[in-house]
Amino acid sequence: MATPESAVQDYDVVISGAGLAGSAAAILLARRGARVALLERRSDPEAYKVLCTHSLTACAYPVLDELGLIPALEKAGAVRNAARWHTRWGWIEPRSAPAGPELPYGYNIRRSTLDPLIRSHAAQTPGVDLLLGHQVTGLVRDAGRTVGVRASSPQGEREIRARLVVGADGKDSAVAKLAEVPARRYENGRFGYLAHFRDLPLPGGVSHAWFLEPDMAYAFPNDDGVTVLAVLPDKKRLPAFREDLEGSFAAFVRALPEAPPIDAAERITKITGMVDYPLHTRKPTAPGIALIGDAALTGDPLWGVGCGWALQSAHWLTEATAAAATGRGDLDRSLALYARRHRRRLTGHQLLAVDFARSRPFNPVERLMFSAATLDASLARHMHLFGSRLIGPLRFLNPLALAKASVVNIKHLRATAPPTRS
C-alpha cells in the first residue's frame, strides 16, 4: 500500500541512527533520489561505537565499494584482513591458490576512524540531512502504520514525517521497541573483554582467532599500528575473571598458543567488555518500518560479522525500497521483498551462531570441517569464504565439502597411524 496522498511528508525516508547501517542506507537511498533525514542521538559528529573489534569481513567489501569508501579507508590505514585460526588440530591458514585469484578480503579499521568517515560521507551526500543530537523517542502513526517519528532535539521536541521509517539504531533499537516488533532473544554463554595495544606484532601481520572450545580469543591488526585483542571465555569463568580483571586478561592472553607478546607491548585503552550479550533476531519490517543492522539482527560478537551485515542490510533495503520510498511503487510489497532477502541471507548464519553461543565445544560436523581445514588448502579457503560470510551454511556444509573433509581426515589418519605389526 502506498502512503495516502493526503499525508504531508517532510522527507521520503527518516532513519533513526547514524552508525554504519544508518549512514550507509542514507547514502544509498539518497543517491536513488530519496530525501532522507538521518537522525543521530549523539551530537558529536566524531562519535563512534566503542564496544567493537571492527574487523569488517569480506562480505562488506562490495557495499564499501559501492559507497565509494575504499580509497578513503585505504588512505586512513585500514588493514586488509587475512587471518589464521587456531584449533586443537593446528592452524587453519587460508591462502589463495597458486595462480588463483586473491582471497576476498575486508578491512580492520577502528570505529573511531570508520564511524566519522561514513557519517561525514552521508552528510555530504546531496539529499541527506544529518540531524545530530536528535533522539527518536516516539513514532507517528496513522491508520495502523508508522508515518514518521518524534525526536528530542536541541530545539525541543520535533515531529518528522516520511513514507518510510528506518530503525538503524542498534541492538536496543528504539524504533523496534516503539513499534513492538516481534523479537527473539538468545542467551550468550560467553562474556568478553577487549583492549587496544601498540607495538604488538602478530605473526605474518594477519588477524588471529583462537578456538579453545569453549573459550575464544582474537587479535586484529588495525589502522595506525594498533592491535585489538579480545578474549571471550565461558561465563562460568566470569566471577574469578572479574576478581582481577587486568591480571586475568593478561594471563588468558599469555596462555594462548603462539601468544601475542603483550608484556612487551603498550596497552593504550582500558580493558572494556560485556558480561551479558544476548543475540537478538527481530522481524525486519512492520507497516511503514524497516529495521537494518543490529536493530534487525544482533549476532554473536565472536564471529565479527555485525558490521558487514549492517552495511549489507542497508544495501538490501535500498534495492528493495528505493523506488517505493520515493513514491514510485508499493511500499508494503517492497518491504516484504526486503524482509525475505534479509531472512534468506542471514537466518541460517544466525541459527548456527545461536547454537555455538551456548559455549559448547565443537560438534561432530565442526570437528570434521575444522580439522580437515588445518590439513587441506582448498578446505581452508572454503572455511575462509564461510567465515567471510560470502557463502551460507548450506554451501559451507554441502555434501561435496563434507565428503572431501572426510577423505582428507581418513588419509591423514592412515598416514599418521603407527605401523601394524605383522
How far is 390 from 57, CA to CA, in rounded Å?
9
Nearest to 174 by CA among 282, 295, 20, 51: 295
How many Cβ atoms are within 10 Å of 157's Cβ, its own excluded?
A: 10
Nearest to 313 by CA among 166, 134, 127: 166
CB of 78 vs ligand FAD, minimal distance in Å: 13
Q: What is the largest CA-CA distance in the chain?
A: 92
Binding-site member from 40, 248, 281, 312 for ligand FAD (CB under 6 A): 40
Q: In Å, how far are 55, 200, 214, 330 from 227, measured between CA atoms? A: 11, 6, 24, 47
Q: Tell me whether residue 243 or residue 276 sits nearer to ligand FAD (CB atom).
A: 276
Q: Tell me whether residue 178 or residue 380 sits nearer to ligand FAD (CB atom).
A: 178
The window from 4-12, 164-172, 182-190, 335-343 that contacts ligand FAD (CB under 6 A) reads 164-172
**Which amino acid, 56?**
L
Number of residues forming the site for ligand FAD (CB under 6 A): 38
Q: Is there a contact between 81 and 220 (Cβ–Cβ < 8 Å)?
A: yes
**Which amino acid, 285?**
T
Q: Tell me whether residue 279 or residue 331 sits nearer to ligand FAD (CB atom).
A: 279
Residue 54 touching ligand FAD (CB under 6 A): yes
Residues numbered 291 to 350 that lie near ligand FAD (CB under 6 A) are: 293-295, 301, 304-308, 310
Residue 148 touching ligand FAD (CB under 6 A): no
Helix, strand or coil, per DSSP, at residue 134:
coil
Residue 160 touching ligand FAD (CB under 6 A): no
Residues numbered 170 to 189 that lie near ligand FAD (CB under 6 A) are: 170, 174
How far is 158 from 165, CA to CA, in rounded Å?
15
How many Cβ atoms are within 10 Å of 210's Cβ, its own excluded?
A: 24
Q: Which helix (H) or strand (E) holds 183?
A: strand 183-186
Phi/psi region, residue 213 (left: phi>0; alpha: psi -120 to 50; beta: rest), is left
Cβ neighbourhood burial of 305 (10 Å; 0-12, 13-18, 19+) = buried
Cβ neighbourhood burial of 71 (10 Å; 0-12, 13-18, 19+) = exposed
CB of 211 vs ligand FAD, minimal distance in Å: 16
The window from 37-45, 262-270, 333-341, 398-406 that contacts ligand FAD (CB under 6 A) reads 37-45
Q: Tell me whether residue 231 or residue 368 sits nearer to ligand FAD (CB atom).
A: 231
Residue 192 touching ligand FAD (CB under 6 A): yes
Binding-site member from 13, 14, 20, 354 for ligand FAD (CB under 6 A): 20
Q: Tell me whether residue 42 or residue 267 sits nearer to ligand FAD (CB atom).
A: 42
Q: Residue 339's Cα: distance from chain center in Å?
A: 18
CB of 101 vs ligand FAD, minimal distance in Å: 23
Q: Is there a contact between 285 and 340 (Cβ–Cβ < 8 Å)?
A: no
CB of 171 vs ligand FAD, minimal distance in Å: 7
CB of 170 vs ligand FAD, minimal distance in Å: 3
Strand partners, 252: none
Q: What are phi and psi for residue 85, nearest 5 degrees? A: -120, 130
The window from 34-42, 96-104, 335-343, 387-395 that contacts ligand FAD (CB under 6 A) reads 34-42
Binding-site member from 28, 39, 162, 325 for ligand FAD (CB under 6 A): 39
Binding-site member from 55, 125, 188, 359 for ligand FAD (CB under 6 A): 55
Residue 221 touching ligand FAD (CB under 6 A): no
Residue 16 touching ligand FAD (CB under 6 A): yes
| Crossing angle (nearest 10°) for helices 306-325 and 331-356 | 170
- Encoded one letter per residue, x for contact with ligand FAD by CB under 6 A and - for no contact, window 276-295 reads -x---------------xxx
- Encoded one letter per residue, x for contact with ligand FAD by CB under 6 A and - for no contact, window 348-387 reads ----------------------------------------
Q: Is there a contact between 43 and 133 (Cβ–Cβ < 8 Å)?
A: yes
Binding-site member from 168, 317, 339, 357 for ligand FAD (CB under 6 A): 168
Residues near ligand FAD (CB under 6 A) are 16-22, 39-42, 49, 51-56, 135-136, 168-170, 174, 192, 194, 274, 277, 293-295, 301, 304-308, 310
